[in-house]
Amino acid sequence: MKALTPILVVLALFAMVPLITQSNLVLNFLVMAFLIALVGQGWNLLGGYGGQYSFGHAAFFGTGAYATAILQTRYGINAWLGFGIGVVAGALVGAVIGALSFRSGLRGSYFALVTLAFAEVLRIIASVAPITGAGVGTLIKLDLRPEAFQFQSRAPFYWIILALVGVSLILVRWIEDSRFGAYLIAVRENEDAAKALGIDATAVKLAAMTISAALTAAGGCFYAQYFLFIDAGIAYGPWISIEALLAPIIGGIGTVYGPLVGALAVKLLGEWTKLAAGDAPGLDLVIYGGVLIAVVAFAPRGIAGVFGDISHRLRGTKGAAALEQGDG
């Protein structure tokens, strides 16, 4: 519980936001930031802790989104049940892709390209398959009832996505302190050495891939319920894969809070660049890209790493001062 206290405090502070303001602009901004944080945490577990960099997390996001949307619109399944099934569907896709990749010995750039290829294949299939609505997409019927996962205001959506982010934070914190987490980091640092110590590297990576896919699919399910529409470009497009890896890289890869900090920073930076660029087309993207390059170049451990270094230096300064006083 001591390890979870900071997480619970952060969640409690964010949970009070709708009680302070009912602004749809603020709530929508935070909802999207938390959505990116959730998907980023999924990527962080596999890429940050496991060292398996994926460029195709859209495969899991889109599967979750389409599964929950199709189950509702075509088969009349309850939205909450469809949400759970969508998470399971995304996890299964992750398990299949992981089994095919890891059992074939794919690592590094080869693994990254394979995940990207799977996401693109699924995008093409979704764009022509009748069950997904092909190029038209899938529209969920408006039904403003809680049992239909639809609400009159954005506040319930805000608390739901915050709860999902909280689950992801607690899960990753638990994994970080578990034997599985130690195995995962060992595989990341030196897979051959980990195997020599008796660790089943394939099983560890496959488990991480499955959990990572489940978290990402949960983000896709939420997206479908929040916007009530999904198509191939949204579900399996490269935008979500990019956001998924940007958040932990900017916030602090391989850290519990990195994806959340990075998601908030990325969203703030995106809004600021749009305001700074004005009506100049493409200028906001230039500013956005330049700032991101600067962060990666000068703070490779992300924002969390910068604050960690500052905290470490402050503790070192206080310790040195205490020693001097003791000597005096």
Instruction: Give buried/exposed letters for 109-131 (b at 16+ CB in 10 A, else e).
Output: eebbebbbebbbebbeebbeeee
Residue 324's pLDDT band (cuts 50, 70, 90): low
Q: What is the pLDDT of residues 4-37, one digit of tens each?
A: 899 999 999 999 999 999 999 999 999 999 999 9
Q: What is the pLDDT of residues 72-108, one digit of tens each?
A: 999 999 999 999 999 999 999 999 999 999 998 888 8
Report the pLDDT value the prediction gives residue 112, as an integer from 0 to 100: 94
If one counts every other C-beta atom within 10 angstroms of the C-beta of residue 237, the result is 17
Residue 292's pLDDT band (cuts 50, 70, 90): confident
Instruction: Please give the structure tokens belonging to residue 58.
Output: 């859209």
Q: What is the pLDDT of residues 237-270, one digit of tens each?
A: 999 998 898 899 889 899 999 999 999 988 888 8
Q: What is the pLDDT of residues 36-52, one digit of tens each?
A: 999 999 999 999 999 99
Asked whether the beta carbons of 50 and 188 are under 8 A apart, the reply is yes
Helix and strand element counts for the chain (H, E): 15, 2
Instruction: Please give the structure tokens belonging to residue 39.
Output: 């998907």
Where do the DSSP E strands lie in the chain? 138-139, 229-230
Cα radius of gyration (the chain): 21
- DSSP-derived pairing of the beta strands 138-139 and 229-230: antiparallel
* Owner of token pair 């998924």: 244
In DSSP notation, 224-257 reads HHHHSEE-HHHHSSHHHHHHHHHHHHHH-TTSSS
More confident residue, 323 or 76: 76
Q: Tell me how many degrees the CA angle 250-6-175 measures, rounded to the nearest 5.
A: 70
Check residue 282 and give left, alpha or beta (phi > 0: left; psi -120 to 50: alpha): left
